[in-house]
Amino acid sequence: MDLGVISVRYARALLKSAVQTKCEEKVYGDMNTIVQAYAELPRLRRTIDNPMLPTESKKTVLSAAAGENPSPLTLKFIDLILQQGREEVMQLIASSYITLYRQQKNITHGRLVTAAAVSPATQQKMQQMVERRTGGTVEFLTEVDPDIIGGFILEYDTYRMDASVKSQLNTILKELK
């Protein structure tokens, strides 16, 4: 069976349970923490996928990956995943949960890259502009990348606005060739 289908099914079931127990936001935070742990610790996947590691040890590792104070539902869900032998798709399940939660709550993920740090007021204006365009809430991430020289790069959904000096200089360079 397709791992993507499996992960979405588990994620839907988790979201449904979280909504019923009114802890979907807490579980969302736990799933974000798990996805971040998988991204930052490549050995986490190898550890969880290791068939020689006892289930109780895997439970401890996944519970730790969920953060300092995971919700009881998250802990029960980890138990279920381990009982069903689906720990190899935990990262996909967490990512699917995040996607489903964002769809349900009309949350868009946005990113602003600038050459220098921007003021909170500027960041808030950009966030409000994206919220007006999308008609929902925006989780906004700002990054500083001196390589773009100046200007900014704004990304959300499938939209990308590159108003950086670096891209403008590259365009001029292409035209001159």
Average per-residue pLDDT for the chain: 94
The pLDDT score that the predictor gives to residue 157 is 86
Helix then strand then coil, in percent of the chain rounded to 5, is: 65, 15, 20
Q: Give phi and psi for 91, each to the nearest 5.
A: -65, -45
Structure tokens at 77: 């869900």
116 Rama sector, left if φ>0, alpha if ψ -120 to 50, beta otherwise: beta
* Each residue's pLDDT tens digit, 117-164: 999 999 999 999 999 999 999 998 999 999 999 999 999 988 999 999
| pLDDT of 1 over the 70 cut | no
Count Cα neighbours of 98 within 13 Å in the Cβ-side half-sphere. 17
Distances (CA, A) of 120 to 43, 157, 164, 175: 36, 22, 20, 37
Structure tokens at 135: 């008609």
First-last CA distance in the chain = 51
Q: Which residues contact 91 (CB under 8 A, 6 or more apart)?
A: 34, 35, 38, 45
* Each residue's pLDDT tens digit, 23-37: 999 999 999 999 999
